[in-house]
Amino acid sequence: MFTFIVRRIIQTIPVLIGVTILTFSMMHLIPGDPAQIIAGESASPEQIELMRERLGLNDPLPVQYFDYIRGVVTGDLGNSIRSGRAVSSEVFLRLRPTIELAVYSTILSVFIGLIAGVFAAVRRGGLSDSLVMIVALFGLSLPNFWLGLMLIQYLAIGIDIFGINTGWFAASGWGTWQQQVLPVLTLGTAGAAIIARMTRSSMLEVIDQDYIRTARAKGVKERVVIYRHALKNALIPVVTVVGLQFGTLLGGAVLTETVFAINGLGRLIVDSIRARDFPIVQGGVLIFALLFVFVNIAVDVIYRLLNKRIDLN
Amino acid sequence: MAETTDILVEEPILEVRNLQTSFFTKEFEVKAVDGVNFAVPKGKTLGIVGESGSGKSITSLSILRLIKNPGKIKGGEIIFKGENLLDKTESQMRQIRGNEISMIFQEPMTSLNPVYTVGQQISEAFIIHQNMSKKEAMLRSVEMLELVGIPSPKQRVKQYPHELSGGMRQRVMIAMALACDPELLIADEPTTALDVTIQAQILELMEDLQDRLGMSTIMITHDLGVVAETCDYVAVMYMGKVVEYATVKDLFKNPKHPYTVGLLNSLPRHDIDLGEEDLTVIQGSVPAPDQIPEGCRFAPRCPFASDICHERLPHLEQSEDGNQIRCWIYTDEWDGDPEVNVNGERTS
């Protein structure tokens, strides 16, 4: 297993190189002259030239790229244009709420998704199966910014029902649990729906397998047959979906953080795009990409722990 | 119109009476098992023989009440040690499954759970039925693997099913089935999916274990060779019904039902050379489940069929020797050739 993990990490090197090339080129793909943008609208040509020299924009591209990589490896991602502070510290400061949001949403969607999926699969073809699947289809189809706004409207601002105001939760920020409930719901809903559907179809496939019949013939309780013998097999494809879902969550975090005014990385990136603070955007995207790559390594490891048939080497 | 249900067998451990199991689709009902009767004598082996679709596997699953939707056991009695299994609650049935009655399945490649070790899967039986701790159960599992002839059982017990060959996996299935010393073992085509050389090993192992542990066995197979080798009694099934029930000796020496003769004729023999046309086949094939013949189920394919065969279904009748036969030829109502000799049609 150890060698597998090491090998898997080595395999990510090309991916990481690709990611750095992409983020590096962002600087050059933006319309206009980065030096002009960074120096400001009213800068004189001399100031712009000075900025160009400072940013190394006069060097050949490969040299610029290796300078950039050297910076990335040593944790130097440049400085924010707006605040002048190091990008790395700005980004890491904002990283925590985003990761918390993504992790809580993943936990929520896995929890609800698995329960709903197993529930529906066991009652295949029944009314409750159809109901769960219809709800899941809704959950999947709701745009998450809209869901966020609706949740704010009805559960943060609240409406009066029989004299009770439903504004139980906070509409913005991140810190107390009242602030965390709605964003996590917003971000976790689509994932829960996807996982529920995936779990259901995977369970249906497994339930008809011969080894499930063997377990029943052994005198195993139905609950144990479902959760021990069937679910562990059904989880194998679901785990992959959870990994990919985590990436979607990071993307979704950009919207959710904006709707709920959470000072996370997603919002930082959006604000920085508006303010044309490109070093921050660059750094933020790089961190997102790294997170995604490492979450998927973790998923691969879990996948192989579950699926004994895959030879580690 | 009562079916014969008294079966002259000394001390039956299991008696199946008029068992009916059907599968329901939107349009029609498929009677997979349609009034089956047989008995398994204590310590003996009963073979259930028939073509695919004759209902033999469904019969065995019905005994353990493992029939799933849209299937349903509609009627009859399954008397195990004097008690009707169809009257038991689900939790009482769980006490019996894998403990008093065990089952081995046809497909060793897919009948073991791929995500648990062999040891964990055998242990489960001990943990459920004998309240053992995990550790004790694992030690017993090693002993079971040793009993079924798996070399280096201490290492094997930690392996996953995909690390074992088909024959090894079937041995594991047997170890699992025999873990709690069952009184009745149901083996559903235990050797069909295996190589011929492995088949013989597995059959030998099963016979050896049966002698040692003194259990009764139901051997479900379509292979009369397996029957000849392992069984004491045979029930021949055709389209959800038993058509002949006899001791193995009588069945091979003096088969009565035309279908049994057909099965025997399609068995290759290597002791006598019959020339080019030594293998005969039963004409036609099993009718679709929604096109069940009016009279005797076998009549459309039977070389002896006369008018009565197409009109009315014969009963399972018991003869003086205790064997049973469901065929008009052996009744007073027979309207065909009075000199007919079913056994005379045997080519092998």
Q: Does residue B18 sit in the same domain as residue B141?
A: no
- A219 and B98 within 8 Å at the Cβ level: the answer is yes
Q: Does residue B168 sit in the same domain as residue B275?
A: no
Q: Is B70 on the interface with A (CB under 8 A)?
A: no
The CA distance from B105 to B176, in Å, is: 11
Crossing angle for the helix pair A231-259 and A278-306, to the nearest 10 degrees: 170
Which pair of tokens denotes residue A255? 């919207």
List of chain A residues whose C-beta atoms are within 8 Å of the C-beta of residue B85: none
Q: In which element (H, E) is residue A168 found?
A: none
The CA distance from B148 to A64, in Å, is: 70
Residue A249 distance to chain B (closest CA, Å): 30
Q: Which of A122, A123, A214, A224 has the highest number of chain B CBs within 10 A, making it the mutation to test binding with B?
A: A214
Instruction: Please give the average per-residue pLDDT across B57-83, as a whole number.
Output: 92
Q: How far apart are the first and last CA of chain B?
A: 36
Query: Which of B107, B114, B128 comes nearest A218 by C-beta?
Result: B128
List of chain A residues whose C-beta atoms are within 8 Å of the C-beta of residue B173: 214
List of chain B residues whose C-beta atoms are within 8 Å of the C-beta of residue A306: 115
Given a contact cutoff of 8 angstroms between Cβ atoms, the answer to whether B205 and B174 are in contact is yes
Partners of B238 in the beta sheet?
A: B241
pLDDT for B242: 93
Which of B21, B17, B37 lies closest to B29 in space, CA to CA? B21
Given a contact cutoff of 8 angstroms between Cβ atoms, the answer to whether B334 and B306 are in contact is yes
Given a contact cutoff of 8 angstroms between Cβ atoms, the answer to whether A194 and A81 are in contact is no
Q: Which of B63, B88, B102, B111 has the highest number of chain A CBs within 10 A, making it the mutation to test binding with A?
A: B111
pLDDT for A232: 92
List of chain A residues whose C-beta atoms are within 8 Å of the C-beta of residue B124: 215, 218, 220
Q: What is the CATH number of domain A91-306?
A: 1.10.3720.10
pLDDT at A250 over 50: yes
Which pair of tokens denotes residue A64? 């610029």
The CA distance from A84 to A40, in Å, is: 14
Distant-in-sequence, close-in-space partners of B29: CB < 8 Å, separation ≥ 6? B22, B23
User: Would strands B184-188 and B216-221 be described as parallel, antiparallel, or unpaired?
Assistant: parallel
Partners of B39 in the beta sheet?
A: B15
Residue B125 distance to chain A (closest CA, Å): 6
Instruction: Please give the average per-residue pLDDT across B40-65, as a whole number.
Output: 91
Given a contact cutoff of 8 angstroms between Cβ atoms, the answer to whether B64 and B103 are in contact is yes
Distant-in-sequence, close-in-space partners of A298: CB < 8 Å, separation ≥ 6? A243
- B95 and A306 within 8 Å at the Cβ level: the answer is no
The CA distances from residue A13 to A18, A48, A68, A143, A185, in Å, are 9, 36, 16, 34, 35
Q: Does residue B117 sit in the same domain as residue B16?
A: no
Q: Is B144 on the interface with A (CB under 8 A)?
A: no
Number of domains chain B contains? 2
Stretch among A4-13, A90-99, A156-165, B57-66 having the lowest mean pLDDT: A156-165
Q: Does residue B299 sit in the same domain as residue B236?
A: yes
Q: Does residue B115 sit in the same domain as residue B216?
A: no
Stretch among A32-36, A129-133, B185-189, B217-221 having the lowest mean pLDDT: A32-36
Q: Does residue B223 sit in the same domain as residue B300?
A: yes
The CA distance from B128 to A22, in Å, is: 57
Q: Which long-range contacts (CB under 8 A, 24 or more apart) does A36-39 make?
A: A37/A81, A37/A276, A37/A278, A38/A81, A38/A278
The CA distance from B293 to B312, in Å, is: 10
pLDDT for A312: 46
Residue B105 lies in a domain: no
> pLDDT-based confidence at B134, cuts 50/70/90?
very high
Which of A297, A295, A243 lies closest to A12 in space, CA to CA? A297
Residue B60 lies in a domain: yes
pLDDT at B116 over 90: yes
pLDDT at B191 over 70: yes
Place of tokens 């004409």: B283
Stretch among A264-268, B111-115, B337-341 having the lowest mean pLDDT: B337-341
Of the candidates B155, B179, B203, which is a domain's last residue?
B179
Given a contact cutoff of 8 angstroms between Cβ atoms, the answer to whether B122 and B145 are in contact is yes
Residue B117 lies in a domain: yes
Q: What is the pLDDT of residues B270-311, one digit of tens each?
A: 555 555 555 677 878 888 777 788 889 898 888 888 889 998
pLDDT for A37: 73
Q: Is B107 on the interface with A (CB under 8 A)?
A: yes
pLDDT, greater one: A228 or A168: A228
Q: In which element (H, E) is residue B36 found?
A: strand B29-41
pLDDT for B59: 94
pLDDT for B5: 46
Instruction: Please give the average per-residue pLDDT across A31-43, as a whole number.
Output: 74
List of chain B residues whose C-beta atoms are within 8 Å of the C-beta of residue A307: 114-115
CB atoms within 10 A of CB A48: 17
Q: Tell me, what amino acid is at A150?
A: M
Residue B7 lies in a domain: no
Which of A66, A59, A89, A56 lies closest to A17 in space, CA to CA? A66
Residue B91 lies in a domain: yes
Instruction: Report the sign of the C-alpha dihedral through residues A303, A306, A307, A308, in that order.
Output: positive
> pLDDT-based confidence at B187, cuts 50/70/90?
very high
- A220 and B160 within 8 Å at the Cβ level: the answer is no
pLDDT at A53 over 70: yes
Partners of B71 in the beta sheet?
A: B23
DSSP state letter for B328: G
Q: Does residue B233 sit in the same domain as residue B309?
A: yes
pLDDT, greater one: A311 or B219: B219
User: Would strands B29-41 and B12-24 be described as parallel, antiparallel, or unpaired?
Assistant: antiparallel
The CA distance from B216 to B183, in Å, is: 6
Q: In which element (H, E) is residue B9 found?
A: none
Given a contact cutoff of 8 angstroms between Cβ atoms, the answer to whether A249 and A241 are in contact is no
List of chain A residues whose C-beta atoms are within 8 Å of the C-beta of residue B125: 218-219
Q: Does residue B126 sit in the same domain as residue B262?
A: no
pLDDT at A243 over 60: yes
List of chain B residues whose C-beta atoms are within 8 Å of the C-beta of residue A309: 114, 160, 162
Mean pLDDT, chain B, rounded, equals 87
> pLDDT-based confidence at A212, cuts 50/70/90?
very high
The CA distance from B35 to A252, in Å, is: 62
CA angle B294, B296, B302 (to 5 degrees): 120
pLDDT at A311 over 60: no
pLDDT at A26 over 60: yes
Residue B267 lies in a domain: yes
pLDDT for A296: 86
Of the candidates B123, B150, B179, which is a domain's last residue?
B179
Q: Is B228 on the interface with A (CB under 8 A)?
A: no
- Helices (H), ranges, chain B: 56-63, 90-96, 118-130, 134-147, 153-156, 166-178, 196-213, 224-230, 248-253, 258-265, 307-311
> pLDDT-based confidence at B267, cuts 50/70/90?
confident
Stretch among A184-198, B58-72, B255-269 having the lowest mean pLDDT: B255-269
Peptide bond connecting A31 to the previous residue in cis, omega within 30 degrees of 0? no
Of the candidates B148, B179, B210, which is a domain's last residue?
B179
Sheet with B324-325, side-by-side order of all strands: B101-104, B184-188, B216-221, B45-49, B233-238, B241-247, B324-325, B317-318
**For B121, which residue in chain A has the nearest alpha carbon?**
A215
Residue A302's Cβ-side half-sphere holds a number of Cα atoms within 13 Å equal to 17
DSSP state letter for A311: -
The rounded Cα B79 to chain-centroid distance in angstroms is 17
Residue B4 lies in a domain: no
List of chain A residues whose C-beta atoms are within 8 Å of the C-beta of residue B129: 219
Q: Which of B63, B69, B113, B118 has the highest number of chain A CBs within 10 A, making it the mutation to test binding with A?
A: B113
Q: In which element (H, E) is residue A29 found?
A: helix A2-29
Q: Taking phi first (over 0 means left), then psi (-120 to 50 degrees means alpha), and beta for anything else, what does residue B330 get? A: alpha
Given a contact cutoff of 8 angstroms between Cβ atoms, the answer to whether A71 and A77 are in contact is yes
pLDDT at B1 over 50: no
Q: Does residue B228 sit in the same domain as residue B290?
A: yes
- State which residues form the domain around B286: 12-100+180-345
Give the domain CATH number at B321.
Answer: 3.40.50.300
**For A234, which residue in chain B has the nearest alpha carbon?**
B115
The model's pTM is: 0.81
Residues of chain A whose beta carbon is less than 8 angstroms from a beta carbon of chain B are: 209-211, 213-222, 229, 232-233, 306-309
